[in-house]
């Protein structure tokens, strides 16, 4: 008896490396201390840029202009920051290493978003 060949389907197993609730709360506290609209931010999940098959947390900011994001990636089991301020600006990447250093990059990203928003508000049409 001849058996038809069966196709074997391999499913890629995803490794999630998402932020802890306490880390998201810490980032939220940084946002609450700004003039930016908190409703313009949303949490998402993105494919890691540094670890094949992994998914990581991503904070996206959209205020009607080019969207900006901060991706909480990992490299060699340490924190890795990837972020863009939108408006076609280049992507920045930094090996943060520890969570406190990652938070410093988040604060820098938020401060620049705030500066951009103030500059846009003062530009006359």
CATH architecture of the domain covering 15-119: 2-Layer Sandwich (3.30)
Specify whether the backbone of 111 is left (phi greater than 0), alpha (psi in -120 to 50) or beta.
alpha
Domain boundaries, the chain: 15-119
The per-residue pLDDT of the chain, averaged, comes to 85
Task: Indicate if the pLDDT at residue 35 is higher than 70.
Answer: yes
- Residues 49-76 have pLDDT tens digits of 999 999 999 999 987 777 899 999 999 9
Is the separation of the CB atoms in 88 and 65 below 8 Å?
no
Is the separation of the CB atoms in 103 and 111 below 8 Å?
no
**pTM score, whole prediction:** 0.81
């Amino acid at each position: 008896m001849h058996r038809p060949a069966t196709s074997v389907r391999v499913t890629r197993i995803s490794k999630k490396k998402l932020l802890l609730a306490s880390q998201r709360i810490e980032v939220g506290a940084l946002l609450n201390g700004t003039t930016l609209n908190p409703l313009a931010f949303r949490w998402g999940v993105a494919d890691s840029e540094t670890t094949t098959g992994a998914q990581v947390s991503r904070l996206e900011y959209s205020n009607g202009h080019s969207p900006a994001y901060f991706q909480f990636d990992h490299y060699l089991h340490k924190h890795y920051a990837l972020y863009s301020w939108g408006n076609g600006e280049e992507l920045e990447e930094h090996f943060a290493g520890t969570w406190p250093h990652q938070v410093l990059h988040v604060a820098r990203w938020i401060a620049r978003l705030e500066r951009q928003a103030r500059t846009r508000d003062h530009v006359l049409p």
